[in-house]
Amino acid sequence: MADVNDRRTRIAALAGGIVLAALGIVFLLNNFHHFLDAERLWPLFLLVPVIPLAVNWLARGREAAGSVVPITILTYYCGYFLWLTHTRWYGAGFTWPHYLVGPGLGFLLLYFIERRPGLLAPAFVLLGLAAAFFGGIFGSSLPLGGFLILAGIILVLTSRRK
């Protein structure tokens, strides 16, 4: 058991070191081209709590798998807000269903880690609602149809494993 904990601690330290080195590279590159602008990059601060959550998850393994939900939500929202700030918040009025996608993906990823069938219901409800709302906003059945196909494939593949 000690070998497993030592390995997980090394993996967590490696992940933390990679993140810190990547941040250092970003700040050094900013000296050549000034792209670090607090007005546009503030969503990156959403990733600050992701680091200790990810380290905890890597160190403790499946017993801390619940950390994957906030990690997924914060990471997804960070990307969404970076896109919104890059487009000067142009799409904020018609892309709001993304607020449902973040938690939906979190529950779906947690299902794939823990294989608890009860996690599929909230994942499918949130992702299905987001797909339906996107379909209504853009006047197309494509998002809902695509979601239903993917949800059906997931259900078929997970039912075969039992």
Residues of the chain with pLDDT under 70: 1-5, 8, 34-36, 38, 161-162
Predicted TM-score (pTM) of the model is: 0.77
Output the pLDDT for position 40: 75
Output the pLDDT for position 162: 53
Task: Specify the long-range contacts of residues 42-49, CB closer than 8 Å, at least 24 apart.
Answer: 42/81, 42/85, 43/77, 43/78, 43/79, 43/80, 43/81, 43/82, 43/85, 44/78, 44/82, 46/74, 46/75, 46/77, 46/78, 46/81, 47/74, 47/75, 47/78, 49/74
What would the pLDDT profile of 77-91 be if each residue is shown by its tens digit? Answer: 999 999 998 888 898
